[in-house]
Amino acid sequence: MAKKGVRPLFDVRCSAFDLNNMKRVLGFLFLLLLVAAGAAAFMYWRINEPYRGYQGAEQFVELPQGTGSLSIGDRLVAAGVIRDRAVYRVALWWNGQGRHLQAGDYRFDRAMTPFEVIDKIARGDVYVVNVTFPEGLTIVEMAKIFESHSLGPASSFVQASRDPAPIRELDPAAKDLEGYLFPETYALGRHTDAAKLVRLMALRFEHVFTPELRQAAAARSLTIRQAVTLASIVEKETARPDERPIVAAVYSNRLRIGIPLQCDPTVIYALLRAGSYTGNLKHDDLAFDSPYNTYRYPGLPPGPIASPGRSSLAAAVHPAAADFLYFVSRNDGSHEFARTLDEHNRNVQKYQVRYFREKRLREGR
């Protein structure tokens, strides 16, 4: 019992009114906890729920450089990629990627959770169009590939390639970019135009045709244009990397001793430029009057006849130490090389005349 005149630390007596108030407060707090827990559970479900609010097979969202994380969210919501701003902000806060979002053009083609969307943008997984230009193509052939990827009309690629400015320092005599558009696979944005791609390809050529290769060309008394022209001929004559230095040696030997190159691909290129090639080179075509016809005009043609790859460029300035002057196809992708005309004629009889005669007999023609 408390002493008289001393107030107890705790007064255990309470009225029924106080107990009722306390119960109401506790009940209210419990209700708030339930509501908060429900809201948290609902939001957790929302940020883990795949969502797709756009029509069609795909949706693109372009995020320019300097776009803030909140503005990125607004673009994603407007595009129907994320349900609403609240979901985006909670998901962004939850995974902590707000400082790592990257600019670019993003493609969405399925329902995704906000976490998946944010991770995609944080990785910089931008949409690209992979365009592959095989070795040995002309500008016109490359233009068709450009158009086939829906980047623009072929004519725009051809027009852009007529401007030799990107390689002016390398080849002051160039009138266009034939031979200087390096063939490989380019990862492009869907808004890449022909002019931008052409500049990129010319820049890639300049990088691949290294100072060492340029010095090797000069050591063989070849200008850059002559080296690239020879490389383009090598590229068109064989697809075998092991044969390219030997083919380059054949043409280098012919140039050295003054024998006409007599290269069929140069005639085909001349006919293509004139719009006269039918897809089959005939004997009469060898008389076609064009400076690119190496049956009629000695030396190298005026310029490249296609875009050579890395190994053909290297072969042109580092030909094999071989004294061959002739070669003929074995009809299996490889070639038979010869030092003398008599030897070459025997090879022609074996691999061309006799081969096709026997083939016609087998086919009953």
Query: Rounded to an integer, what distance in angstroms lies between the CA atom of residue 296 and that of residue 165?
Result: 31
Q: What pLDDT score was predicted for residue 38?
A: 47
- Could you tell me what percent of the chain has a pLDDT over 70? 85
Q: Which residue has the tokens 């479900």?
A: 45
Per the domain annotation, does 108 fall within a domain? yes
pLDDT for 354: 77
127-154 per-residue burial string, b: 16 or more CB within 10 A, e: under 16: beeebebebbbbbeebbebbbeeebbeb
Main-chain phi, psi angles of 267, to 5 degrees: -70, -45
Instruction: Note the Cα 2 to chain centre separation in Å.
Output: 91
* Pair 204, 138 in one domain: yes
pLDDT of the residue at 151: 95
Q: Which residues touch 144 (CB under 8 Å, ≥6 apart)?
A: 154
9 assigned to some structural domain: no
Those residues whose C-beta lies under 8 Å from the C-beta of residue 84, and which sit 6 or more positions away, are: 77
CATH of the domain at 81: 3.30.1490.480
Of 105, 123, 141, the domain-final residue: 123
What integer pLDDT is reported at residue 46 of this predicted model? 75
Give the pLDDT score at 98: 85
CB neighbourhood size of 323 (10 A): 10
Is 164 a member of any domain?
yes
Of the residues 192, 208, 224, the one at which a domain ends? 208
Among 147, 175, 208, the domain-final residue is 208
Q: Within this chain, do residues 70 and 115 fall inside the same structural domain, yes or no?
A: yes
In-domain check, residue 133: yes
Is residue 111 located within the same domain as residue 133? no
Q: What is the DSSP letter of 352?
A: I
User: pTM of the full predicted structure?
Assistant: 0.80
The confidence score (pLDDT) of residue 243 equals 97
Residues 116, 150: one domain? no
Q: Is residue 225 part of a domain?
A: no
Q: Could you tell me the residue range of the domain that residue 102 belongs to?
A: 59-123
pLDDT along the chain (365 residues), means of 10: 51 57 57 51 72 94 93 95 91 87 95 94 95 98 97 97 96 96 96 96 97 97 97 97 97 97 97 92 93 96 98 98 96 95 95 74 67
Q: Say whether both 143 and 169 belong to one domain.
A: yes
Q: Cβ neighbours of residue 171 under 8 Å, at least 6 residues apart?
A: 164, 180, 223, 224, 225, 228
Q: Does 339 reside within a domain?
A: no
Q: Are 291 and 297 in contact (CB under 8 A)?
A: yes
Domain count for the chain = 2
